[in-house]
Homo-oligomer: A and B are copies of this chain.
Amino acid sequence: MAPNQKGNVDIVAVAKAAKVSPSTVSRTFNHPDLVSPATRKKINRAVQKLGYVRNRAAQMMHGKRSGTIGLVVPTINHAIFAEVIQAFSDAIDQAGFTLLLASHGYDLDREYEMVRKLMEHRVDGVALIGLEHSAATSRLIAQQETPAMAIWNYEEESELPCVGADNRLAGRMAAEHLLELGHRDIGLIFPDTRGNDRAQYRLNSVLEALREKGVSVPEHRMSEAPYSVAQAKQAAIRLFSGGARPSALLCGNDVIAQGALYGAQKCGLRVPGDVSIIGIGDFKGSADIEPGLTTIRIPAETIGSLAGQRFTEYITSDTREQFRLCCGLERVVRGTTCPAA
């Protein structure tokens, strides 16, 4: 009665219904040109009628690709990663792949576990955020010979193929903008840099660029905030409340910058009149906030798209030539910075 009496509609059920052999059904899917149009029609009708859905797991056992790509991110719930994930997902979808997603909360040991988990599912490739990973992770990837890539950071000598931006340059550009405007007393709010090479690179290069111009940042001008508007707001308020306040704030990313901006507004400070604020990232929304946030734009969407395209090419090609793509940065001057008084 029911077209699908048992729920186990497989290729042989289809074959039976179409009165052909399983081989022919399989061929209809994989090499349609080898099957006569008439038979193909019969088979398609049977597929339709029975509601057959291919079983990729079974295909995979014949050396076929699983058609999945694993992506391991620190966190999903994060403007910038969400944007990258979306773009990456769309790009690999275009190439017929499906995304297996896992997050580790900035814990490199958990990252290893996640990569391992994905490999149990025999992903055709695994993409990681950033270039800093545990030795165990690298070993696992090498051992399994799973194609792997890094997203978000670019480095000339990177171990893994990568598509991303130069975070050191980003930090430098932010610092130089402030310096050019004449700021010398600069406050810094950055996230914890452990297990986060992006933040690490940015912070180091900011400090370096400032030092080159003879500007040093005393301890009490530095604050740490996790990736959260609320906490960054608090951190900024703390920086502002101690005696003399800095003339400018350089924030490790736009979320923190946004929090800092609210913090300043809360303290009754005019931005940029009383204090200039610059972020890094140019997240969705940074342009629209009032006043518009000055920042260093990292093209998240481009990075995600490019990464997805390039990675699927890499996986499906048999040559497997390494790739390293550097996406350009852009200084976006909006309303939160102005010359020092």
Q: Give the interface of A toward B (CB within 8 A).
A: 3-4, 7, 51, 53-58, 60-61, 66-68, 75-79, 82-83, 85-86, 89-90, 93, 98-103, 116-122, 140, 143-145, 228-230, 233, 258-259, 262, 265-266, 284-285, 287-290
CB–CB A288/B229 < 8 A: yes
Q: Which of B57, B101, B258 contacts A121 (CB 8 A)?
A: B57
Known A-B contacts A230-B287, A259-B288; A53 and B116 likewise in contact (beta carbons under 8 Å):
yes
Bound-state CA distance A144–B52 (Å) is 9
**B51 and A122: CB pair below 8 A?**
no
Residue of B at shortest CB range from A143?
B51
Residues of chain B lying within 8 A (CB to CB) of residue A122: 55-57
A51-B144, A86-B77, A89-B76 in contact; A57/B67 too (CB < 8 A)?
Answer: no
- Which chain B residue shows the least CB distance to A66? B57
- The minimal Cβ–Cβ distance linking A117 to chain B, given in whole angstroms, is 6
CB distance from A306 to the nearest CB of B (A): 16
Q: Decide: A67 and B99 in contact? CB cutoff 8 A.
A: no
If A61-B61, A76-B85 touch, whether A144 touches B7 (CB-CB below 8 Å) is yes
Query: Which of B82, B98, B140, B259 is A100 in contact with, Cβ under 8 Å?
Result: B98
Whole-angstrom distance between the alpha carbons of A82 and B116 in the complex?
Answer: 24
Q: Which residues on the B side are within 8 Å of A287 (C-beta)?
A: 230
A3-B143, A230-B287, A230-B288 given; 14 more Cβ-contact pairs under 8 Å: A53-B116, A53-B120, A53-B140, A56-B120, A56-B121, A57-B60, A61-B61, A75-B86, A76-B82, A77-B82, A77-B86, A98-B118, A229-B288, A266-B290
Contacts of A120 in B (CB 8 A): 53-56, 67
